[in-house]
Amino acid sequence: MPPKAHLEPHLSTEQIKSRYRQAKDTTESRRWHLLSLVAQDWTIKQAAEVVGLNYDYAKQIIQRYNQEGPASTINHSKKKRVSSRSLLTPEQQAELARALKHPAPDGEAWSGPKVAHWIAQKTGLKRVWPQRGWDYLRRLGNAPIDKKN
């Protein structure tokens, strides 16, 4: 088994989790999610897979965090971006919001992968990453609440 990654103690595990849950920018949220998992003794490879990041990029995020601290998670590319393309039209987002008021097709609660599958079906895309499904859950105010806090 690969060795666990080391995180400098800039923030506690709970503070990292809190920053992940509060992040408004999806890039920053994914970085905090990765850090949160690594802080909970996941390997970089395991955490990168769950978050949907390339292993080498995940390593860079950990290295930058260790060197620069929490400021390293800021998404500087936002300043360069003219506009971001949404996967769903406003009408499709409204349709998804209505669908989220009911159980998922399997009768269970909605999750990032289930929403990603719904998006893929509606848009005709071959694959939509689970993180994008999670992004839409959060955007539409349906992300599960952590019951520990």
**Is 56 contained in some domain?**
yes
**Percentages of the chain per state (helix, strand, coil), in multiples of 5:** 60, 0, 40
Are 111 and 104 in contact by the 8 Å Cβ rule? The answer is: yes
Stretch 50-77: mean pLDDT: 94
**Is 8 contained in some domain?**
no
* Average pLDDT in the chain: 88
Question: Residue 94's domain spans which residues?
Answer: 90-139
Are 23 and 131 in contact by the 8 Å Cβ rule? The answer is: no
Same domain, 99 and 70: no
pLDDT digits (tens, 9 = 90+) for 6-59: 999 999 999 999 999 999 999 999 999 999 999 999 999 999 999 999 999 999
Give the end of a domain, one of 54, 76, 98.
76
What's the number of domains the chain is made of?
2
Same domain, 68 and 96: no
Split at pLDDT 50, 70, 90, the class of 80 is: low
Report how far Cα 3 is from the mean position of its chain's Cα atoms. 24
